[in-house]
Structure 1
Amino acid sequence: MNFHGILVPLVTPFHDDLSLNISGLAELTEALISRGVTGLVVCGTTGEYYALNETERATVLSTVSKIAKGRVTLIAGINDLSTEGAIARARQAKELGYEGLMLSPPPYSLPDQQGVYAHYKKVAASTPLPIIMYNFPARIGIEIEIDTVIKLAEIENIVAIKESSGNFSRALHLLQTPFKNFEVICGCDDQPVDFFFWGSKSWIAGAGNVFPSEQVAIYNAAQAGDWQKAKQIMSEIYAVIYSMESGDYNQKAKAGCLNGKFNAGPVRLPLTNMEPQIRNEFVKLIKP
């Protein structure tokens, strides 16, 4: 599974009546592929996986797979409140042709580190697919502690961690840990240049829905050692990134989709849509 480059956690387009917009999903999938992204993460947090019923989830996963399989890397988000639920979602992803999985600790239950380790170990044993762990304590309520990451990295099909804590001191510690066959992926939209400078080769960012070409250009510049260009592009999009990280992230990922030129529709409850004035102010930040 190639996950080096820009992987976009796809938004799920809805019609104004909140039904799935399948033609829009297909169009967005094609558009992101055409802009040179390495892969797509489907049914992740940015895709509002928690607001999809099981039939809709299968429809979203299968729609993207039919279009993108063999063209870009396909990763399925398999988060669930229970370990058994995540195992079932891993099985579904494999059946639908996905190459990899992304998994956080279970939200809400607040497991201790022994529980976190056991959760990942059991899911990994249930599937041949490679797993990217997802550390996002602001969403999940607990952190995958560094010692736990090191232990889990010894499991053959746990291949990476998406690091979204926002704490770059922690990220730097992980980036300088001598892992074998295990990588640290940038999961903070405002830190990619820092991650790339210290050796990360991947960026999974919801803002990729907004700036796919720009993020691919940042990655390419970093890989070429052109740090001035990478910093320049990041500076150009930073106001939008900062706004997204400051609140209403999913709403802004949709409002700004493809440089604000693609209508991804509303969000579903429990999220609420932005007021028109706030939405318009955000879209104005996006430079075509």
Structure 2
Amino acid sequence: MKTQGVLVPIVTPFDADNKVDLQALTKLVESFIEQGVGGIVACGTTGEYYALDEDERQQVLACVKDAVKGRVTLIAGVNGLSTQEAIGRAHQAEALGYDGLMLATPAYSLPGQAEIVAHFRTVAQATKLPIVMYNFPARVGVEIGFEAVVELSKIPNIVGIKESSGNFSRALALIKAGLPGFEVICGCDDQAADFLFWGVRSWISGGANVFPGEQAAMINAALEGNWDEVKSLMSGMLPVIQAMESGDYNQKAKLGCRRHGIDAGPVRQPLLPLPDADAQDFSRLLNQYRR
């Protein structure tokens, strides 16, 4: 599975009747590929996977698979509240022909480190697909500890970790550990330049729903060693990225899709739409962006 480049955990568009808008989803996939992304992640957190019923999940995964047409890497988010639920979702992605999986520690149950290792090992044993672990303690309440990552990296089809802890010292320790056959992937949009400087060339970015072409250009600039360009691109996007990271991330990711001429619609409860004033402020910030 190729992970170099920007991979977009794509939003799930909803129409005015709160139904999944597969036409808008197809248009987003096409727009992102045209702008140079290296992959699409379906049913991730930015895709509001937790708000989809099982039929809708199948529709979204199948729609993205059909839209991609093998042109870029295709990853399915397979998070579940239990290990068995994650395994079922992994098998669903396998059946649809996905290239790989992204999997976080189960939320709410607060497993210990030995239980986290057992969770990932059990899912890995149940699927032939490569797995990118997702470390986002702010979302799930626990971190995949450093030693747990080292242990899990020895499993052949656990191939990397999306590092979204926000602690770059931890990320750098993982990068410098040089774990064989294992990749550290940028999962903090506001730290992307730091990850790139230290040799990371893969970025799973919710912000790429807003800036797919610009973020792909950042990866290319890093590959060419053009750090002035990396800095320029990051500086331009940073106010918007910081606004997204400050709160209402999903709502702002969907608003940002309007840059591509596509209406991704509202978020689903438990999230609520941005108040009009906040939406207008974010739209003004987007309009101020200059490449």
Aligned to 1:121: 121
Q: SS state of the match for residue 190, structure 1?
A: helix
1:46-125 to 2 correspondences below 5 Å: 46-125=46-125
Residues 52-91 of structure 1: CA deviation (Å, up to 9, x unaligned): 0000000000001011131010000000000000000000
Q: SS state of the match for residue 128, structure 2?
A: coil
Code of the residue aligned with 1:17 in structure 2: it is D
Greater alpha carbon shift after TM alignment, 119-128 vs 13-22:
13-22
After TM superposition, give the deviation of residue 280 of structure 1 in Å. 1.2
After TM superposition, give the deviation of residue 258 of structure 1 in Å. 5.2
Q: TM-score, normalised by structure 2?
A: 0.98
After TM superposition, give the deviation of residue 262 of structure 1 in Å. 2.2
Aligned to 1:240: 240
Code of the residue aligned with 2:223 in structure 1: it is Q
Q: SS state of the match for residue 25, structure 1?
A: helix
Code of the residue aligned with 1:172 in structure 2: it is L
CA RMSD of aligned residues (A): 0.9
Code of the residue aligned with 2:269 in structure 1: it is L
After TM superposition, give the deviation of residue 259 of structure 1 in Å. 2.6
Distance in structure 1 (CA, Å) of the matches to 2:256 and 2:283 = 6
Q: Is the CA contact (8 Å cut-off) linking 1:69 and 1:97 kept in structure 2?
A: no
Greater alpha carbon shift after TM alignment, 152-161 vs 60-69:
60-69
2:21 aligned with 1:21, yes or no?
Answer: yes
Aligned to 1:212: 212
Code of the residue aligned with 2:148 in structure 1: it is T
Question: Between Structure 1 and Structure 2, how many residues are aligned?
Answer: 288
Code of the residue aligned with 2:26 in structure 1: it is A
Distance in structure 1 (CA, Å) of the matches to 2:118 and 2:89 = 17
Residues 197-231 of structure 1: CA deviation (Å, up to 9, x unaligned): 11111000100000000000111111111011001
Aligned to 2:202: 202
Q: SS state of the match for residue 2, structure 1?
A: coil
- Structure 1 stretches of 4+ moved >2 Å: 258-262
Q: TM-score, normalised by structure 1?
A: 0.99
Q: SS state of the match for residue 235, structure 1?
A: helix
Aligned to 2:135: 135
Question: Runs of 5+ in structure 1 lacking a partner?
Answer: none
Aligned to 2:275: 275
Q: SS state of the match for residue 87, structure 2?
A: helix
Distance in structure 2 (CA, Å) of the matches to 1:283 and 1:64 = 27
Q: Is the CA contact (8 Å cut-off) linking 1:218 and 1:233 kept in structure 2?
A: yes
Code of the residue aligned with 1:120 in structure 2: it is F
Q: Is the CA contact (8 Å cut-off) linking 2:9 and 2:205 kept in structure 1?
A: yes
